[in-house]
């Protein structure tokens, strides 16, 4: 029964390896890979303050999705991944004034911090866009002209609340009063708590109200458009309510830091319209070739900007005669001691300190393993140490160590699998059979793991993919513990066959773990795979066939020399965390 299950899995794995299709477009004529294209994006981040772990988390989610896709579809030409900075608007104009800088000085400074952080964190983006670039101004103005030509804009009086921090207009029902610094009640946004001010001016207005039904249709026909599902439902619920037209410009005398409305310098384009078009700018809009990437887009965003991406953006695209993005992946927020991170509370967690303390791979693993898109997660240092020590240092690192130790594997090779010791048919008996029933459960779990991981990636549940890997690591340690290879000896011919088989199975498990961990911990995975002697060409998901000898196929790794020992896979942190002890004392 178990064997049947494992065999079924293998044949599935061979036909359709652990890969899923992300939103894809056919390549344009002359497309260089022949593969469908996929385009991943993060939000473009405001430059009013330095990056924090929330920004890094979004970039890591996108990075992991993108790296996973590259493992399925090798070659760099069919996958694109953009991030960047959002540099216009009242918020930046005001932040620059407060800092005593010109807006562009502030933008240059903070944008460089984002770029440096993402470089250090191994974010494998192919494009970094800044909205102050000339190519972007061109794209935004073109997009505006298309909207205008299609009758989507009209001039009208806008009167209502505006929140500069959130760069959004608010109806009266979304505004409340809070006691301000002077003791007087101040109007603030009900959702974010940020101050709002009354605005009355003549603006250009987008006919958003026309798109309520088309948006409902789009979401109903594409149940996977917004993932995870609860966010899809949230948007459908929003669309049950009235959808008022949207003001898409501000008076230039009030907002000068932005892109002027074409043909009307007295108005500046609304920063959200400006920002959203970045996704088109990156793929060359308005040049015709952008269509080979659009709408094969997966937007990765935080829940705070869902309305902009799931209502305004698709409506603007439809208004401009373009299709909505293929997928929108939404995640929740990191909090600190249950509170929102904010400069004023002084609880912002600096991602660069974390990368230094926990290593790049360690911190990437932590955020992706602990971050749950459906709800907020609380950050604290002890949690990082505990997780990394137990899962990366002890469980995974320990497993590698045990199987490669000189006294257990003196020849330093990938040992052979003996089918007489570990027959494919459970329940067989014979003089050489040493396998136990639980071992078949391990084989079965390992054979399904790549597909399971791919499904979790597709569902934007990367933490569950890592949980599944971690559970298999535990099972493999159990396998080693059960068979205690340190009690076997290479000198005895019967022991030697079984000892080789036990190590072979463990190496096969480690090879699968290393392959599957590449999107999350690229350097650690490289170290693991290099130690096992797995070449660069053998690390894709298409080639990932677990334990081929068990299924009657040849195994290219048998007898191969292991790679050099370059030290512990992941050193424990709790011995080296003097900073943590210090932090407790203060």
Binding site for ligand ME8 (CB under 6 A): 43-46, 54-55, 57-58, 86, 275-276, 278, 301-302, 304-305, 333-334, 341
Shortest spacing between CB 89 and ligand ME8, in angstroms: 8
Q: What is the rounded distance in angstroms from the CA atom of residue 181 to the CA atom of residue 71?
A: 54
127, 135 Cβ separation under 8 angstroms: no
Shortest spacing between CB 2 and ligand ME8, in angstroms: 42
Contacts 24+ apart (CB under 8 A), 379-382: 379/53, 379/334, 379/335, 379/336, 379/349, 380/336, 380/337, 381/357, 381/580, 381/583, 382/580
Which H/E stretch holds residue 235?
A: helix 229-238
Cis peptide before 215 (omega within 30 of 0): no
Shortest spacing between CB 544 and ligand ME8, in angstroms: 31
Shortest spacing between CB 469 and ligand ME8, in angstroms: 23
Nearer to ligand ME8, 92 or 205 (CB): 92
Nearer to ligand ME8, 271 or 403 (CB): 271
C-alpha pair distances (Å), 247 with each of 278, 312, 548: 19, 11, 61
C-alpha pair distances (Å), 118 with each of 85, 126, 201, 372, 532: 12, 12, 40, 21, 29
The neighbour count for residue 220, using CB atoms within 10 Å, is: 11
Q: What is the rounded distance in angstroms from the CA atom of residue 518 to the CA atom of residue 511?
A: 11
Task: State the number of CA atoms in the 13 A half-sphere of 134 facing the CB.
Answer: 0
Q: What is the rounded distance in angstroms from the CA atom of residue 408 to the CA atom of residue 487?
A: 9
Shortest spacing between CB 275 and ligand ME8, in angstroms: 4
Nearer to ligand ME8, 82 or 532 (CB): 82
Among candidate residues 364, 270, 298, the one with its CA nearest the CA of residue 37: 298
Shortest spacing between CB 289 and ligand ME8, in angstroms: 22
Q: What is the rounded distance in angstroms from the CA atom of residue 427 to the CA atom of residue 514?
A: 31
C-alpha pair distances (Å), 265 with each of 157, 269, 284, 385: 17, 10, 25, 55
Nearer to ligand ME8, 301 or 368 (CB): 301
Nearer to ligand ME8, 80 or 451 (CB): 80
Nearer to ligand ME8, 57 or 456 (CB): 57
Shortest spacing between CB 254 and ligand ME8, in angstroms: 20
| Alpha-carbon torsion, ordered 477, 481, 485, 488, to 10 deg | -170
343, 49 Cβ separation under 8 angstroms: yes
Q: What is the rounded distance in angstroms from the CA atom of residue 397 to the CA atom of residue 72?
A: 26
Among candidate residues 224, 229, 273, 220, the one with its CA nearest the CA of residue 250: 273
Nearer to ligand ME8, 51 or 485 (CB): 51
Shortest spacing between CB 351 and ligand ME8, in angstroms: 11
Nearer to ligand ME8, 55 or 545 (CB): 55
Shortest spacing between CB 340 and ligand ME8, in angstroms: 7
C-alpha pair distances (Å), 98 with each of 103, 165, 343, 348: 10, 14, 14, 20
Backbone phi, psi, residue 196, to 5°: -125, 155
Q: What is the rounded distance in angstroms from the CA atom of residue 272 to the CA atom of residue 308?
A: 8
Shortest spacing between CB 46 and ligand ME8, in angstroms: 4
Nearer to ligand ME8, 302 or 314 (CB): 302
Nearer to ligand ME8, 54 or 533 (CB): 54
Reduced to 3 states, what is the DSSP secondary structure of residue 245? coil
Nearer to ligand ME8, 304 or 467 (CB): 304
Chain residue at closest Cβ approach to ligand ME8: 54
Shortest spacing between CB 424 and ligand ME8, in angstroms: 47
Give residues with Cβ within 8 angstroms of 477, minimum separation 6. Answer: 395, 398, 399
Nearer to ligand ME8, 161 or 379 (CB): 379
Shortest spacing between CB 61 and ligand ME8, in angstroms: 9
DSSP 25: B
């Amino acid at each position: 029964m178990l064997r049947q299950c494992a065999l079924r899995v293998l044949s599935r794995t061979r036909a359709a390896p652990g890969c899923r299709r992300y939103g894809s477009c056919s390549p344009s004529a002359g497309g260089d890979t022949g593969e469908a294209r996929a385009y991943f994006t993060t939000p473009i981040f405001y430059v009013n303050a330095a990056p924090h772990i929330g920004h890094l988390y979004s970039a890591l989610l996108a990075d992991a999705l993108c790296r996973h896709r590259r493992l399925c579809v090798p070659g760099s030409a069919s996958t694109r991944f953009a991030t960047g900075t959002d540099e216009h608007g009242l918020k930046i104009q005001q932040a620059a004034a407060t800092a005593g800088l010109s807006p562009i000085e502030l933008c240059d400074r903070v944008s460089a911090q984002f770029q440096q952080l993402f470089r250090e964190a191994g974010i494998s983006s192919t494009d970094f866009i800044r909205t102050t670039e000339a190519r972007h101004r061109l794209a935004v103005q073109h997009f505006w002209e298309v909207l205008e030509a299609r009758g989507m804009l009209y001039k009208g009086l806008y009167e209502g609340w505006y929140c500069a921090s959130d760069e959004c207009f608010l109806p009266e029902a979304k505004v409340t009063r809070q006691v301000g610094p002077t003791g007087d009640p101040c109007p603030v946004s009900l959702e974010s708590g940020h101050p709002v001010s009354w605005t009355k001016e003549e603006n250009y207005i987008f006919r958003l109200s026309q798109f309520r039904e088309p948006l409902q249709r789009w979401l109903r026909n594409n149940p996977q458009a917004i993932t995870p599902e609860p966010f899809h439902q949230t948007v459908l619920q929003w669309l049950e309510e009235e959808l008022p037209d949207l003001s898409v410009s501000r008076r230039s005398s009030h907002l000068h830091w932005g892109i002027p409305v074409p043909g009307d310098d007295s108005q500046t384009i609304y920063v959200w319209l400006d920002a959203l078009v970045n996704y088109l700018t990156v793929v060359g809009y308005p040049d015709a070739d952008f269509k080979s990437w659009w709408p094969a887009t997966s937007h990765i965003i935080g829940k705070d900007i869902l309305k902009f991406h799931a209502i305004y953006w698709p409506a603007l695209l439809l208004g401009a005669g373009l299709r909505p993005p293929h997928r929108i992946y939404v995640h929740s927020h990191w909090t600190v001691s249950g509170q929102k991170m904010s400069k004023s509370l002084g609880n912002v967690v600096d991602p660069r300190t974390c990368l230094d303390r926990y290593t790049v791979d360690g911190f990437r693993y932590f955020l992706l393993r602990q971050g749950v898109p459906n709800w907020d997660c609380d950050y604290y240092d002890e949690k990082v140490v505990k997780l990394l020590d137990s899962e990366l240092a002890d469980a995974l690192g320990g497993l590698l160590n045990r199987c490669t130790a000189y006294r257990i594997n003196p020849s330093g090779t990938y040992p052979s699998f003996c089918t007489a010791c570990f027959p494919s048919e459970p329940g067989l008996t014979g003089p050489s059979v040493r396998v136990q029933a639980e071992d078949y459960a391990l084989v079965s779990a390992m054979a399904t793991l790549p597909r399971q991981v791919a499904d979790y990636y597709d569902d934007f549940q990367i933490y569950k993919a890592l949980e599944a890997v971690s559970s298999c690591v535990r099972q493999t340690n159990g396998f080693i513990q059960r068979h205690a290879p340190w009690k076997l000896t290479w000198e005895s011919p019967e022991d030697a066959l079984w000892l080789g088989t036990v190590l072979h199975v463990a190496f096969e498990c480690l090879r699968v773990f290393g392959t599957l961990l590449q999107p999350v911990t690229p350097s650690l995975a490289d170290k693991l795979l290099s130690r096992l002697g797995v070449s660069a060409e053998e690390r894709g998901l298409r080639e990932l066939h677990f334990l081929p000898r068990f299924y009657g196929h040849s195994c290219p790794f048998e007898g191969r020399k292991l790679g050099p020992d370059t030290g512990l896979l992941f050193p424990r942190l709790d011995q080296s965390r003097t900073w943590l002890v210090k932090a407790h004392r203060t």
